[in-house]
Amino acid sequence: MSVSNDAADAPPSDVRGRRRLSLMRRAQTVALDLFEQRGFEGVRIEEIAALCDVSPPTIYRHFGTKEQLVFWDEYDPFVFGVLAERLGSLPLLDALRAAILVPLDRIYASDAKRILRRVRLVQKEPALRAARASNLQAFRSALASAFLAAGACRDDLAADVLAGAFAVALEAAIEHWAASSGAIPLRRFVQRALRELGSFGQQANGPRRGAASAGRRERRKPRD
């Protein structure tokens, strides 16, 4: 997922907003086609702009960087909107689960192939792998800000830790889904990742059974 400057805004309902969204969808599709054909480094913004019948500055104005043509995700505003609503009434992990899973089925039904193309391109291209770290950082920061705004975390450190853990869990789920070539629905990987994330607190409450048993055996050893 990526985070744009208007990540907290609602999906566009005005004519201008819909035109902007349509252009961004087309630009991303054109860019993905070219990147897959010739590699990320072998394509210039000018070529993408020409195929979209706009100027290069227009592409930069909407995406900011060439890398964001791959990372941009139109669903982020909706996800953050659902998260803001649910944080007020649900525990943090449940609110995150709702924010991701509520829109996921709709997204998956219409855009699974495009998401898979983006993930595979990032895995293949060194420049995109390097940019992914910055993108993940921005997503984590936006999540932490949402947690603090809703009063879901006691301080900045707690918000950063929880946001970072969730961002990495989501990234891992997407990567494992891509490794399956999309044969298994993304929802299953996300649900599993969130279960694993939720289990950390339970594991921290006491030693694992095997470790506890080993400790008891050690204590039972006769002294020399």
Under the banding of pLDDT at 50, 70 and 90, the label for residue 16 is confident
**DSSP string for residues in 166-181:** HHHHHHHHHHHHHHTT
Please give the DSSP secondary-structure letter assigned to residue 90: S
Is 219 a domain residue? no
Reported pTM: 0.78
Q: For residue 106, is it within any domain?
A: yes
Domain hosting residue 28, numbered range: 6-66
Of the candidate ranges 75-79, 91-95, 184-188, the one whose mean pLDDT is the lowest:
75-79
43 and 77 in a single domain? The answer is no
pLDDT (0 to 100) of residue 153: 93
86 & 195 share domain = yes
Going by pLDDT thresholds of 50, 70 and 90, the confidence category of residue 45 is very high
Among the three residues 49, 66, 83, which one is the final residue of a domain in this structure? 66
Mean pLDDT, the chain, whole residue set: 85
* Domain endpoint, select from 41, 66, 91: 66
Do the domain assignments include residue 214? Answer: no
Q: Which of 111, 108, 79 is nearest to 96 (CA)?
A: 79
- For the chain, how many structural domains are there in total? 2
Sign of CA dihedral 74, 157, 96, 146: negative
Q: What is the pLDDT of residue 13?
A: 59
CATH of the domain at 165: 1.10.357.10
Radius of gyration of the chain (CA): 21
At 89-137, the pLDDT tens digits run: 999 999 999 999 888 887 887 889 999 999 999 999 999 999 999 999 9
Residue 43 and residue 85 in one domain: no
Q: Looking up tokens 């803001």, which residue turns up?
A: 84
Return d(Cα 124, Cα 72) in angstroms, integer: 17
